[in-house]
Amino acid sequence: LTERLETAFKNLKGEAKINELNIANTVKDIRRALIDADVNYKIAKEFTDKVKDKAIGEKVLNAISPGQLMVKIVQDELTDLMGGTEASFDISGNPAIILIAGLQGSGKTTFSGKLANYLKTQKGKSPLLVAADIYRPAAIDQLTVLAEQIGVDIYSERENKDAVSIAQNAIKEAKSKNKNVIIIDTAGRLAIDEAMMTEVANIKSAVNPSEILFVVDSMTGQDAVNTAKAFNDRLDFSGVVLTKLDGDTRGGAALSIKYTVNKPIKFVSSGEKMETLDVFYPDRMAQRILGMGDIATLVEKAQAQFDEEQAKKLEKKIRKNQFDFQDFLDQLQQIKKMGNLKDLMGMIPGVGKAIKDVDISDDAFKGVEAIIQSMTPEERGNPDLIDQKRKVRIAKGCGKDIADVNAFMKQFDQMRQMMKMMNKMPMGFGGKMPGM
Ligand code: GDP
Ligand code: MG
């Protein structure tokens, strides 16, 4: 029986394929949503082309509607693109050296504080913050305030105008004070410039960091991609930090950056509080981007449209007195998708109270489903084909008594008679079938 059921399910699933037209429209909507979420056009196109290829022909899994499958494909692809599983973070050195780079205002200093706090409270490390921004005395003050706030030591040299030697001296300091992580906060400029790049590159070659984190403001949208590329060309950084995700944020930057420089996003920052640092989870970001562009809703709409087409087909069949077992089974499954039988009946006015204490189980459906699934496709499409011999075989196939099969056949026949009658009525078939 299980084997038979499986074959039956397989046939059903085949029919529930997302069709090509459906996909083309949905994919277009997804692309638009991604672009709205600040994903670069070219990347959005490449991405949706891939989704399209995957969706076409992919079979619907057990009890998953085509729309849900589409959302799943999009989400899986997004997750994949953003790095699959959580990226590693190397703080094994003693001291481990972490270099922070990025444009001015991107959130480097704030992030340095957050990272120090995270490593101290979550990883049991003893961090040393290093102020290597030699251009603005206020930058040293800012880091000092943060360090005090989280109870972490800071290293700075107000008179030293050489960031490289400050970083080198900080390592000596860390060793003498038993600090096992050094976080070097560097200076940024408002735009990419050669002096800034040279300075950071020099610090890199002098201290050989185990992690170079590129900090980028997620609100800068398309610019974020260009900045990431420039920094990566020069520094070959090990990871990205996406900040200000708490704002009116464009999650799309995550996707574009990952796609362009192919470096993992390691942390996200969403707030100015020292506690709001998060490890980056690609699947969560995928969900966020999906939600942002309301892609799930778009796909649901496509799915509703798909259902509507099915309903129209069914109505036509009823009009022509061609309603068959397969249609019946499809309807049953539609009803099941909407919820359990008791809840559904409860929605009918006046019924809710009456059935409050009545035990209505969905098992009533199961018997009927099993009987239909035990039929061959020909039998499902042509109820008149079923004679005594076939009834015996069907009953055997689903483990029911022949009396059960007979009872169901009779009910089904009555239903068809009723449909015929309604078709003959002057106002036509005005009623609604369940699930339509
Ligand atoms: P830096 O120039 O790269 O060191 O950037 P700062 O760390 O000084 O941050 C620039 C501004 O952005 C400051 O006003 C921060 O308070 C703010 N900021 C930094 N990170 C975040 C964040 O995740 N969310 C929000 N809302 N603001 C942030
Ligand atoms: Mg700063």
Atom of ligand 1 nearest to the CA of 142: 8
Q: Per the domain annotation, does 22 fall within a domain?
A: yes
Contacts of 78 (CB under 8 A, 6+ apart): 47, 255, 282, 285, 286, 289, 290
Nearest-angstrom CA–CA distance, 72 and 61? 11
Q: Per the domain annotation, does 297 fall within a domain?
A: yes
Nearest-angstrom CA–CA distance, 44 and 46? 6
By alpha-carbon position, which residue is closest to atom 9 of ligand 1? 107
Ligand-binding annotation for 187, yes or no, is yes
Same domain, 345 and 262: no
From first to last of the 436 residues of the chain, give the pLDDT tens digit.
444 444 434 444 444 455 666 667 777 877 877 787 778 888 889 888 888 888 776 654 433 456 667 777 878 888 888 776 667 899 999 999 999 999 999 999 999 999 999 999 989 999 999 999 988 889 999 999 999 999 999 999 999 989 999 999 999 999 999 999 999 999 988 888 888 999 999 999 999 999 999 999 988 877 888 899 999 999 999 999 999 987 766 567 878 888 889 898 999 888 888 988 888 888 777 777 766 545 555 555 555 665 667 777 877 887 788 888 888 887 777 666 555 555 555 555 445 555 556 565 666 667 888 899 999 999 999 988 999 999 999 999 989 999 999 988 888 888 788 777 777 765 444 444 443 3
Q: Rounded to the nearest 10 degrees, what angle do helices 402-424 and 325-338 cross at?
A: 90
Atom of ligand 1 nearest to the CA of 269: 23
Q: Measured between alpha carbons, how far is residue 75 from residues 11, 51, 69, 406 in Å?
A: 26, 10, 10, 47
Q: Which ligand is nearest to the CA of 139?
A: 2
Same domain, 267 and 188: yes
Tokens 């300075």 correspond to what residue? Answer: 199
Q: Per the domain annotation, does 313 fall within a domain?
A: no
Asked if residue 107 has its Cβ within 6 Å of ligand 1, the reply is: yes
Same domain, 251 and 125: yes
End-to-end CA distance of the chain: 31
By alpha-carbon position, which residue is closest to atom 2 of ligand 1? 105
Same domain, 326 and 297: no
Asked if residue 252 has its Cβ within 6 Å of ligand 1, the reply is: no
Atom of ligand 1 nearest to the CA of 110: 7
Same domain, 27 and 37: yes
pLDDT at 43: 85
Q: Which ligand is nearest to the CA of 113?
A: 1
Q: Are 402 and 392 in contact (CB under 8 A)?
A: yes
And the tokens for 135?
Answer: 């251009």
Q: Are 16 and 60 in contact (CB under 8 A)?
A: yes
Same domain, 101 and 218: yes
pLDDT at 60: 44
Same domain, 272 and 205: yes
Same domain, 242 and 271: yes
Q: What are phi and psi of 128, to 5 degrees?
A: -125, 125
Quote the number of domains for the chain. 3
Q: Per the domain annotation, does 156 fall within a domain?
A: yes
Same domain, 68 and 110: no
Asked if residue 135 has its Cβ within 6 Å of ligand 1, the reply is: no
Q: Measured between alpha carbons, how far is residue 8 from residues 65, 141, 314, 372, 397 in Å?
A: 17, 71, 20, 9, 12
Ligand-binding annotation for 105, yes or no, is yes
Asked if residue 238 has its Cβ within 6 Å of ligand 1, the reply is: no
Ligand-binding annotation for 201, yes or no, is no
Q: Per the domain annotation, does 343 fall within a domain?
A: yes
Pocket of ligand 1, candidates 272, 276, 277: which has the most ligand atoms within 8 Å of its Cβ, to mutate?
272
Q: Ligand 1 centre from 272 Cα, in Å?
A: 7
Ligand-binding annotation for 245, yes or no, is yes
Q: Per the domain annotation, does 435 fall within a domain?
A: no
Indicate the pTM of the whole model. 0.65
What is the span of the domain harbouring residue 70? 17-86+282-304
Same domain, 287 and 276: no
Ligand-binding annotation for 109, yes or no, is yes
Pocket of ligand 1, candidates 99, 110, 216, 245: which has the most ligand atoms within 8 Å of its Cβ, to mutate?
110
Ligand-binding annotation for 92, yes or no, is no
Asked if residue 75 has its Cβ within 6 Å of ligand 1, the reply is: no
pLDDT at 359: 60
Q: Per the domain annotation, does 436 fall within a domain?
A: no
Ligand-binding annotation for 103, yes or no, is yes
**Which of 271, 304, 337 delimits the end of a domain?**
304
pLDDT at 322: 84
Same domain, 179 and 254: yes
Q: Per the domain annotation, does 11 fall within a domain?
A: no
Q: Are 39 and 286 in contact (CB under 8 A)?
A: no
Closest among 395, 434, 406 to 1, alpha carbons compared: 395
Same domain, 257 and 271: yes
Q: What is the CATH number of the domain that holds 146?
A: 3.40.50.300
Asked if residue 272 has its Cβ within 6 Å of ligand 1, the reply is: yes
Per residue in 236-288, pLDDT tens? 999 999 999 877 665 678 788 888 898 989 998 888 889 888 888 887 777 77
Q: Is the dihedral of CA 93, 95, 98, 99 positive or negative?
A: negative
Predicted complex ipTM: 0.99
Asked if residue 189 has its Cβ within 6 Å of ligand 1, the reply is: no
Pairing state between β 96-102 and 211-217 = parallel
Q: Measured between alpha carbons, how far is residue 241 from residues 35, 118, 226, 244, 397 in Å?
A: 22, 14, 15, 10, 60
Q: Which ligand is nearest to the CA of 110?
A: 1
Contacts of 262 (CB under 8 A, 6+ apart): none
Asked if residue 219 has its Cβ within 6 Å of ligand 1, the reply is: no
